[in-house]
Amino acid sequence: MYNKLCDVLIKEEEDIFKPASAEDIKQRDAERLKVIFNRLKKEGKLQSDGSYDFDGNVDLFLKLKSIKDLDIKFDRVSGYFNCSRNELTSLVGAPKEVDGDFYCYKNKLTSLVGAPKEVGSFNCSNNKLTSLEGAPEKVNDWFDCSYNKLTSLEGAPEKVNDWFDCSNNKLTSLDGSPEKVDEDFYCSRNELTSLEGAPKEVGGNFYCSHNKVQFTEEDVRKVCDVKGKIHV
């Protein structure tokens, strides 16, 4: 009797501490997502096109591997919108308008199509982007597209009211850079052989170290009016 009881307890303990299978995780995430999206639909204001308006912030920082796309169509969010640290491959369904900041970092995005046209800050770092096509046209604060696979900055906003970070990519050119960056500009750790296409004006510091060419301060001054320090 004692041995049988021990066997039962050991089996229960093994079940408790047994790592969850991929299928278990997927099912758990799906159930959690269903609850979250149903709650959002109740809290949001339904529009005629099936999208939802939200007063305040929308935070989908969930770390869920099962989120490949947004299972709800957003229209306007009056606060910030955060869908970071999931496995999104697309921004289809993202808000058309965000009054605050927009965060979509650490996903598996290959495109920014679907992003809002105007935001406060914009963070799309740590994805799989090769282009900035679809990025916001107006950014009222900072813009971070570092740690992607960008080969071009085409699609970047024309002006950024704070800092702009495109470091740790595969850029060979700065063509497509914002015309003006009010604070610091980061393009270090790329594959740049030229600084042509750099912003015409940078209000803070300019960082361009660890590229294929060791640039000089003179190289930077030739293409950009830098108000702060130059780090080569």
Q: Report residue 11's pLDDT band, with 50, 70 and 90 as the boundaries.
A: very low
181 beta partners: 160, 202
Task: Give 103-149 pLDDT, tens digit per residue.
Answer: 999 999 999 999 999 999 999 999 999 999 999 999 999 999 999 99
pTM (predicted TM-score): 0.86
Structure tokens of 141?
């604060």
User: Once rounded to an integer, what is the mean pLDDT over residues 187-212?
Assistant: 98
Number of other CB atoms surrounding residue 120 within 10 Å: 18
Q: Within 13 A of 1's CA, how many CA atoms are on the CB side? A: 0
Q: Report residue 169's pLDDT band, with 50, 70 and 90 as the boundaries.
A: very high
- Whether 180 and 204 have beta carbons less than 8 Å apart is answered as no
User: Once rounded to an integer, what is the mean pLDDT over residues 154-164?
Assistant: 97
d(CA 206, CA 220): 8
Query: In this model, does residue 203 exceed pLDDT 70?
Result: yes
Question: Long-range CB contacts (< 8 A, 24+ apart) of 28-33?
Answer: 29/64, 29/65, 29/66, 29/67, 30/66, 32/62, 32/64, 33/62, 33/64, 33/66, 33/67, 33/71
d(CA 111, CA 120): 20
**What's at 195, amino acid-wise?**
L
Task: Give 177-195 pLDDT, tens digit per residue.
Answer: 999 999 999 999 999 999 9
User: Once rounded to an integer, what is the mean pLDDT over residues 70-99?
Assistant: 92
Q: Report residue 2's pLDDT band, with 50, 70 and 90 as the boundaries.
A: very low
